[in-house]
């Protein structure tokens, strides 16, 4: 019964992405999406086939989460009646390191899995995944469910029920699982069963009931009874109350959100229904704590009705305020500098110095450290500043934290010439090596790394710089990675502390990975298996487009491998600013909906 109710409810509220049951296990991609709601996933699969499957959990901005709301996708491994052999618990939000997009591999067995969101306040985000045997029906379920009904209530000596009775229906199915439970009162229309049926009309009654499993097998039954007038009828309303819980501030207001739990008891005929209304809205059936997160004043009206029709009401009011943010950082960093080098008897530095700058910030953290030599432009500090020019010098420095607070300072010193007849007039020795996979033509496939080395036996190497393809010279701090297809030149130079400079250069060509060939896919928008994403099919600068890299005609072992391939193609394009995260999401969803690899 629960399976039918939960899946039916979710199907009515959201559009489900359903993997066809005719698909093989290796082809399955099961996609869940989440957004700003705490009551439902935006989409979720309802059925699958046994075997391996790729799970996609998308809680990104592109999928519809515009508030940064975190969600989880958790498979239930404790509730009786469900499969417990998949341990999956993914937490995602649009601002995490994956942008809220996650993939996982799982193995499914025939039966029913229950999934839900475990974050407090998200309790209604729940559903079921029904898994059939691989291939559809090699072992079809041909056995009807087991269904029964029990009548309860106060009875007289003749076995008739006094004033009212309740009929509770139970159904189980060890095969494909129960899909629907229904009942008919006194020959009326069959209705979906969602709880004990209360009957209060005096006279004889018959409740017909039936249960249908997922495979379509149906079992039926019937129960008859009589209701007579109660000499001492129930005229007492139930006892009903509500409790509000959540973090409160000093004023008693709730911070961020609150939960309202309603309880009701009736010692006579028993509670038949509990309902609530939020802020004057329509009364709704109560089945779990009501989560309220909107900032402002709220009122929850509630009522409980017993089987005899007596009703009790109540109301609770409260206020929700925004969560307080951290105290702003208004304290500037601590910044200082030390000058190191050989000094003479007058305290001047001989030949050269190095100025090391340090900065710390206990609040928001240091964002940037900069320096200026002799009143020049401030530059980013990335290591000790070497100064070798003879004369007086001043190094001004500053540090700025993430909150924008800045601290400044400065040091002054004098450099004198080194004693001795042999000043360093020899330039450093500098060279470069190009590393990477090469093809038969000597071109590099996909990418290269250029490593620059420099040595100086005199005053020592002061700085090493490089320029890529005629661009501005920048400080060299490790091998230079080049990935763009085409011809390239890396010029390099090294300067020693005495100011002597040596230069050089290397040239090479990078070609695409795989077989060379034209890139003919010039469609205006990215289209996968006929699904137009609406995203511009951008030229990537080498004559190839996004669709060329996606390679719909490639050889993929299964659909999941194709979807992962598309992700590997488009995510770097987002890192390079060619695509937005929303466009990445649109392309991935089109890949998941396609038939490629199936």
Tens digit of each residue's pLDDT (9 = 90 or more) over 555-579: 888 988 898 999 998 899 989 899 9
Question: Do 37 and 10 touch, CB atoms closer than 8 A?
Answer: no
Beta bridge partners of 12: none
Residue with the two structure tokens 């009522």: 303
List Cβ neighbours of 214 (8 Å cut-off, separation of 6 or more): 3, 130, 132, 141, 173, 176, 177, 178, 179
Per-residue pLDDT at 139: 64
Beta bridge partners of 103: 56
- Cα gap 383→461, rounded to integer Å: 14
Per-residue pLDDT at 325: 67
Question: Do 229 and 244 touch, CB atoms closer than 8 A?
Answer: no
Q: What are residue 103's phi and psi, to 5 degrees?
A: -130, 150
Per-residue pLDDT at 352: 93
List Cβ neighbours of 64 (8 Å cut-off, separation of 6 or more): 33, 34, 35, 36, 42
Residue with the two structure tokens 């990418």: 447
Local structure of residue 26 (DSSP, 8 states): G
List Cβ neighbours of 327 (8 Å cut-off, separation of 6 or more): none
Per-residue pLDDT at 514: 53
* Residues of the chain where predicted confidence (pLDDT) is lower than 70: 1-27, 68, 120-121, 123, 134-139, 325, 420-421, 514-518
- Cα gap 5→181, rounded to integer Å: 9
Six token digits for residue 280: 């004057």
Per-residue pLDDT at 518: 57
Per-residue pLDDT at 125: 85
Mind listing the domains of the chain with CATH numbers? 2-132 (2.60.40.420), 146-228 (2.60.40.10), 239-321 (2.60.40.10), 334-416 (2.60.40.10), 429-511 (2.60.40.10), 525-593 (no CATH)
Per-residue pLDDT at 15: 33
- Cα gap 498→463, rounded to integer Å: 11
Reference 78, options 41, 124, 113; nearest CA is 113
């Amino acid at each position: 019964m629960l399976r039918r109710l939960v899946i039916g409810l979710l199907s009515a509220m959201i559009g489900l992405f359903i993997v066809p049951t005719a698909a093989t296990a290796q082809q399955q991609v099961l996609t869940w999406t989440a957004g700003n709601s705490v009551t439902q996933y935006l989409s979720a699969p309802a059925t699958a086939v046994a075997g391996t499957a790729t799970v996609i959990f998308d809680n990104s901005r592109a999928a519809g989460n515009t508030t940064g709301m975190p969600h989880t996708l958790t498979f239930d491994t404790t509730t009786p009646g469900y499969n417990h052999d998949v341990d999956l618990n993914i937490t995602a939000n649009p601002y995490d390191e994956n942008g809220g997009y996650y993939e996982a591999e799982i193995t499914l067995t025939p039966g029913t899995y229950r999934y839900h969101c475990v974050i407090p306040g998200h309790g209604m985000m729940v559903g079921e995944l029904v898994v059939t045997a691989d291939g559809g029906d090699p072992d079809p379920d041909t056995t009807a469910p087991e269904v029964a009904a029990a009548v309860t209530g106060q009875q007289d000596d003749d076995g008739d029920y006094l004033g009212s009775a309740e009929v509770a229906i139970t159904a189980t199915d060890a095969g494909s699982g129960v899909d629907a439970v229904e009942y008919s009162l006194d020959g009326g229309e069959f209705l979906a069963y969602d709880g004990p049926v209360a009957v209060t009309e005096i006279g004889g009654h018959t409740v017909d009931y039936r249960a249908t499993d997922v495979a379509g097998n149906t079992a039926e039954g019937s129960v008859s009874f009589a209701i007579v007038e109660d000499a001492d009828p129930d005229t007492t309303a139930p006892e009903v109350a509500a409790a509000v819980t959540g973090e409160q501030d000093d004023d008693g207001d709730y911070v961020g959100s609150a939960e309202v739990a309603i309880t009701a008891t009736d010692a006579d005929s028993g509670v038949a229904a509990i309902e609530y209304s939020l802020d004057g809205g329509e009364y709704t059936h109560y089945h779990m704590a009501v989560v309220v997160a909107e900032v402002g004043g709220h009122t929850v009206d509630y009522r409980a009705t017993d089987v005899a029709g007596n009703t009790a009401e109540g109301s609770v009011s409260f206020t929700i305020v925004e969560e307080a943010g951290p105290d702003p950082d208004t304290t500037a960093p601590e910044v200082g500098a030390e000058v190191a080098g050989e000094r003479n008897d007058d305290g001047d530095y001989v030949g050269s110095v190095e100025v090391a700058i340090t900065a710390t910030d206990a609040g928001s953290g240091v964002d940037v450290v900069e320096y200026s030599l002799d009143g020049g432009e401030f530059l980013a500090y990335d290591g000790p500043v070497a100064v070798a020019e003879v004369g007086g010098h001043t190094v001004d420095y500053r540090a700025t934290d993430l909150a924008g607070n800045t601290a400044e300072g400065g040091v002054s010193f004098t450099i004198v010439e080194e004693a001795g007849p042999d000043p360093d007039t020899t330039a450093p020795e500098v060279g470069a090596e190009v590393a990477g996979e090469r093809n038969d033509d000597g071109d590099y496939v996909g990418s290269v790394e250029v490593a620059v080395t420099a040595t100086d036996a005199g005053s020592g190497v002061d700085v090493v710089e490089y320029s890529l393809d005629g661009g501005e010279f920048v400080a060299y701090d490790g091998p230079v990675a080049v990935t763009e297809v085409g011809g390239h030149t890396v010029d390099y130079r090294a300067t020693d502390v005495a100011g002597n400079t040596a230069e050089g250069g290397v040239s090479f060509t990078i070609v695409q990975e795989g077989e060379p060939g034209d890139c003919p896919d010039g469609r205006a928008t990215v289209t996968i298996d006929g699904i137009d994403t609406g995203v511009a099919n951008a030229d990537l600068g080498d004559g190839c487009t996004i669709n060329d890299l996606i390679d719909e005609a490639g050889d993929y072992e299964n659909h999941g491998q194709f979807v992962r391939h598309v992700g590997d193609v488009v995510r770097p394009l987002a890192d390079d600013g060619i695509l937005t995260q929303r466009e990445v999401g649109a392309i991935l969803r089109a890949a998941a909906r396609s038939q490629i690899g199936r």
